[in-house]
Chains A and B, each alone.
Chain A
Amino acid sequence: MDGPAEIRCHQIVEIVTDYFEGALDEADRTRFEMHIVVCRGCENYLQQMRVAAATAEDVPAEEPDPQQMAELVDAFRGWKRRTLEER
């Protein structure tokens, strides 16, 4: 690539996820990366999107409600009985 990267910041922010997902072709990926190199704003935005994905990862799981769990175990035992009877 000899010419300057032509893609602008307002376009970069719309293809960040495509970039992360490996959905950009080689030419677009190179253009994207070259823009990031020269643009602190977009570099920071890329990092922010990465943080958003990583933070979602750490949203804590909730333990199953004991009442629901008990109902499910009951249902499972009932299902098991019926299934074994049929076989």
Chain B
Amino acid sequence: MLAYKFLRPGAVGPFSATPWPAPADGGPGAWVRATAGDRALCAAGVHACDVDDLPFWMGEELWRVELEDPVERRRSKLVAPAGRLVARVGAWDEAAALAFMDATVDHIRETDTGGYMTEAEIFCVGDAGRSDPFGNAALSTMIAVEAAERAGGLDAVRAERRRQAAWLAERLRLTSG
């Protein structure tokens, strides 16, 4: 099954610092496998995203990954015994992250009832925002969700996550499954 995964620069796992082998010779990278004794790589399996999960896990590099069966659907992530990198989603770059952040800040501005624009302005606007495009884009997802919760509760939170995912899917031309 194909899915997506955010990684740190150099295709490094964001929490375990596991290096993910890059695709080579036109083929996918080597399999990365979760093993029972390896606490660094979650023993339950390798994690990945489908399009709806992406806003939770925003990072510097976005990759298309192949997951080995059986793939388990959990809240906000997919879990599989192994995964391998298929291709980099080159469209996800600093410019895209900054555009995402701008769109998210615009949305906060339009819907905020709890003063969250103050935070958005501190971290996600102008030079401050640009000082760390990927980090602040990720932060904007959270500020937007907090603002949504204040404005409209859980329904608004879900809608905001869908908006974030839809934005990414359209901009990056992502497909599900």
- Complex alpha-carbon distance, A38 and B158, angstroms: 18
Taking a contact as CB atoms under 8 Å apart, the answer to whether B154 and A40 are in contact is no
Q: Which of B21-29, B63-71, B90-98, B141-149 contacts A (4 or more CB under 8 A)?
A: B141-149
Closest to A22 in B: B39
Q: What size tier do the contact residues of chain B reach?
A: 20 to 34
Q: Is B138 an interface residue (CB 8 A)?
A: yes
Hey, which chain B residues are within 8 Å of A33, CB to CB? Answer: 14-15
Partner pick for A2 among B39, B44, B157, CB 8 A cutoff: B157
A15 on interface, CB distance cutoff 8 Å: no
Q: Is the pair B14, A1 in contact by a Cβ cutoff of 8 Å?
A: no
Q: Are B149 and A38 in contact (CB under 8 A)?
A: no
Q: Which residues of B contact A30 (CB under 8 A)?
A: 75-77
CB-based contact A3/B157 at 8 Å: yes
Give the residue of A1, A20, A22 whose beta carbon is less than 8 angstroms from that of B43: A22
B2 at interface by CB-CB < 8 Å: no
From B15, B39, B158, residue with most partner A Cβ within 10 Å = B15
Q: Quick check: is A4 within 8 A (CB to CB) of the other chain? A: yes
* CB <8 Å contact, B43 and A50: no
Given contacts A1-B75, A20-B40, A22-B43, contact A37 B56 (CB under 8 A): yes
**For the complex, what is the distance from the CA of A19 to the CA of B43, rounded to whole Å?**
12
Asked if B138 and A38 sit within 8 Å, CB to CB, the answer is yes
Which chain B residue lies CB-closest to A54? Answer: B17
- Residues in B lying within 8 Å of A, measured CB to CB: 14-15, 17, 39-40, 42-44, 56-59, 74-77, 132, 135, 138-139, 141-142, 145-146, 149, 154, 157-158, 161
